[in-house]
Amino acid sequence: MQSFKEEFLDFAIQQQVLLFGEFKTKAGRMSPYFFNAGLFDDGVSLKKLGEFYASAIDASGLAFDALFGPAYKGIPLAASVAIAYAAGVSTGARNIPFSYNRKEAKDHGEGGSIVGAKLSGRVLIVDDVISAGTSVRESVELIRAAGATPCGVAIALDRMERGQGDLSAVQEVSRDYGIPVIGIVNLDDLARHLDGKPDWRDTLASIQAYRGRYGVRV
């Protein structure tokens, strides 16, 4: 497994962004883990998070011109990725424009629902996770309406979990919009990370059982 994945998982556990136990999902399932990117809630953690996103994006080889953060969680995420690239933490410093949307369009001042750089070229959407795919769908529509091209989605964690059918929300996004979804890590990465660590044996068993019951094929 790539080193940035191991480092990200250690960091998420340390920050208590990734918790283990019993948690009820929106689908009514009892999950053995819970991931809340909103708890990357200070300058140091957000800086490091942006660097992990940049590492994952670079590892994917995806070409892009701009970043877009869906309101609300995607706003600081896209900003942190833009800052990481400007600092040159990946493959050399790049000054990448970013923008985000308002939940309600503004009817005064500059108006509209988009804040930040003008949407143009190949736009990468940055979010925390994909659950139902609603924010991705709205983002794709906004980007296309502006005459730009949505080229992918970057997320922190791919749960690799079935939705209503046989596909996960991530797989549905890729299928419906013809764009890749880049995760810093996925559930299989988490299982590999915990494997061989005696203190995490029971947690790993619970995650593997959950993956077997609700997981998708890859």
Is the distance from CB of 67 to CB of 82 less than 8 angstroms? yes
Q: Which of 24, 106, 118, 197 is catalytic?
A: 106
Strand pairing category for 112-116 and 122-126: unpaired
pLDDT at 170: 94
Six-digit token string for 212? 């077997």
Q: Which domains does the chain have, with CATH numbers?
A: 3-214 (3.40.50.2020)
Which H or E run contains 189? helix 187-194
CA angle at 114 for the pair 112 and 117, rounded to the nearest 5°: 125
Tell me whether residue 22 is exposed, middle or buried, using C-beta atoms within 10 angstroms of its C-beta: 0 to 12, 13 to 18, 19 or more. Answer: exposed
Mean pLDDT for all residues in the chain: 92
pLDDT at 60: 96
Distance CA 165, CA 49 (A): 32
If you average pLDDT over residues 98-117, what whole number do you get? 75
Q: What is the chain's alpha carbon radius of gyration, rounded to the nearest angstrom? A: 17
If you average pLDDT over residues 17-26, what whole number do you get? 94
Give tens-digit pLDDT for 59-86: 999 999 999 999 989 999 999 999 999 9
pLDDT at 108: 47
Q: What are phi and psi of 11, to 5 degrees?
A: -65, -45
Whether the per-residue pLDDT at 112 is higher than 80: the answer is no
If you average pLDDT over residues 83-101, what whole number do you get? 89
Least confident interval from 88-92, 171-175, 183-187: 88-92
Per-residue HEC secondary structure of 73-138 comes to CHHHHHHHHHHHHHCCCCCCCCCCCEEEEEEEEECCCCCEEEEECCCCCEEEEECCCCCCCHHHHH
Whether the per-residue pLDDT at 106 is higher than 90: the answer is no
Whether the per-residue pLDDT at 192 is higher than 70: the answer is yes
Distance CA 31, CA 131 (A): 14
Tally the C-alpha atoms within 13 A of residue 141's C-alpha that lie toward its C-beta. Answer: 8
Give tens-digit pLDDT for 154-167: 999 999 999 878 99
Assess whether 108 carries a catalytic annotation.
yes
Residues 118/71/87/65 CA torsion (nearest 10 deg): -40
pLDDT at 33: 96
pLDDT at 98: 97
* Max CA distance (Å), the chain: 59
Whether the per-residue pLDDT at 35 is higher than 80: the answer is yes
